[in-house]
Chains A and B, each alone.
Chain A
Amino acid sequence: MNKKALEFSFSWIFATIIGAAIISLAVYAAIQIAKTNTGAEETKLSKELTVLFEPLETKTASGLASAVKLTQEVRIKSSCEIGGENEFGKQKFQLMAKAGITKKWSGQGGNASINHKYIFLNKTADGKKFYFFTKPFNMPFKVANLVYLTSDKYCFVIPAGSQFEFVRKEMGDFQSELDNIKVVTSQAECENGMIKACFGVSGSCNIAVTGDRDKGIVKKNGKDMNYVTESFMYGAIFSDYDTYTCNVERLMKRLRAETTMYVREAQLLSGRCGSIPISSLINFGNNIPKNFESGNAAAGALMVSLAASLEDQNQAVECGLW
């Protein structure tokens, strides 16, 4: 028997174990509460972000650019759902801040979803400063204002006299707000760390755009993204493949729904005044492709030509529908 051993009565052992359990529980609860608070704050910010997109639908917000500078670095994670046959799909956003001693992205916040907006961005966008601009998607009537959001720095290589001169002009208009986009005539002018987007020119570019203002292909990360209209061209440049194709399908669904609405409006107006022939609208509606993927590229071009014809007819009638 060790006679020098310390004697620990049961009450001490009991108190020590229970005390340790209570302290552990208290520490665990404190960590959980801190996580919940972070999560609640991030969810709130995600929702506020979707509310911030709201005014971008206005006519005055078409062709608008701006930058948002934040006090700390945040990560925007997004996902896109096409939705069922009778749904318009949605985009989900999750805002993350760096938290804890390790300064890792917390990811505690919930998603905020948005059904009636089309935001073109990469699935993950990190940064302290976010840039966005809008462009209307008209086919031939307005379908929606498309929003392009990025935190990356871009170098747009547009050779002088190219068919993409309109990009130089448009980016020039946004120059004061979009200081992350530099438009140059040769690749040598691009700074290190910038994403090189080459318009109608080959070379070692991260993004290669071929075609013209109305239709073409954006090659990015080894994938081809077909586009019609410049609105989709920018969409393909500033978003990843999945987000782009998803938003294109969502917009085509909206375009079909709006066409059906105009068919009904034309029927309503037929007794009052002359408007576009219903058959033209129905024909246009029947030729709206699901997307612009390789098999549907020709369908996209057909849709554009039919839309141009519809626009001419709408201008000529007594009661224009749009």
Chain B
Amino acid sequence: MVINLQKTKFSGSQKIFDFLSPKIPDGNFLAFNSHELKIFRKGSQNVVLTAQHRTSSINLQKTRRKFKMKKRGQLKIQQMAFMLVAVFLFFVLAGLFYLTFVYKDIVDSRNKAFENQAAMMAKIVADYPEFSCGKEKESEYCIDTDKVIIFNYTRYKGFFPPTYIKIVKLYPESSTEKVCNLGNYPEDCNVYNVYNTGKSSTASASNFVALCRWGTNDAIGRVERKCDLGKIVIGYEVKNA
């Protein structure tokens, strides 16, 4: 037998025991949980009320308050939900923190790789056939400015890894920077903008190099290689973490 207290109507001061006692068969027990009152048979394994419980009267108002425990249970669930949200947010924040470090490490590695590549390019660009002067195994670190001045970098767009390649004539010295073109080459300029991808460069690597071209040696009246001292500058992109 189960009596649902939520559905049962009581008068204001009625004692629950008084209300229930006629309904409980002799020798059986009364038990309740937060939802309902149950009457169990003798010898039941479920919660069994003691004789004291059976004989004492329960104030209906107090009993009703017990059933308000459902609301307290809801509060506990809310507490737990808040706790779970807090734990979840903690993990999310910890994850974001970790990812920031990982991302920074990846960006650093990427910048390092680009820096190494630029440094390497600064050393070897003079050996690329597009810029190199002289024959195989000869004329190391020599750039043929006759090739550089006619180098069509739009044809080679995206071919070389750096963002730009620039060659600066260091000696003979010049007080002003003049970009070389077919009009002022070779005597009246000192900067060759060899290659430019248009990407922003925030760092560069450089190396000294010989800048040679075919020219007439007035002293002997013969055509020979004329060389100056220059610097090759390789630009690369640095990303911020």
Contacts and interface: CB of A to CB of B under 8 A. Distances in A.
Interface stretch (A52-60, A67-75, A97-105, A188-196): A52-60
Interface string B63-81: 0000000000100110011
Interface in B37-93: 40, 44-46, 73, 76-77, 80-81, 84, 87-88, 91
Interface string B113-131: 1001100110110011110
A65 B48 CA distance: 90
Contact of A3 (B46, B105, B136): B46
A26, A57, A136, A258: residue with the most chain B Cβ atoms closer than 10 Å: A57
B156 A257 contact: yes
A319 B113 contact: no
B80 A14 contact: yes
Given A48-B113, A318-B223, A40 B102 contact: yes
B9 interface: no
Interface in B139-198: 140, 146-147, 149-152, 155-156, 158-161, 182
Interface stretch (A162-170, A237-245, A263-271): A263-271
Contact of A51 (B46, B105, B120, B158): B120
Given A44-B109, A115-B158, A136 B136 contact: yes
B154 to A, nearest CB: 9
B127 to A, nearest CB: 5
Quick one: which of B44, B105, B113 has the most chain A CB within 10 A? B113
Contact of B113 (A51, A59, A87): A51
Nearest to B115: A51
Contact of A264 (B138, B150, B214): B150
Given A11-B76, A51-B120, A268 B150 contact: yes
A116 interface: yes
B95 interface: yes
Contacts of B128: 57, 116
Interface stretch (A126-134, A139-147, A175-183): A139-147
18 contacts: A18-B84, A22-B88, A40-B102, A47-B113, A48-B113, A51-B113, A86-B155, A88-B159, A116-B128, A116-B161, A142-B132, A258-B129, A260-B152, A264-B152, A272-B215, A273-B214, A318-B223, A322-B129
Interface of A: 3-4, 9-11, 14-15, 18, 22, 25-26, 29, 33, 36-37, 40, 44, 47-48, 50-51, 54-55, 57-60, 62, 86-88, 115-116, 136, 138, 141-144, 257-258, 260-261, 264-265, 268-269, 272-273, 318-319, 322
Given A10-B77, A138-B136, 17 more contacts: A3-B44, A11-B73, A18-B80, A33-B95, A40-B109, A44-B109, A50-B117, A51-B116, A54-B124, A55-B120, A58-B123, A59-B140, A115-B159, A258-B129, A261-B130, A261-B150, A265-B150
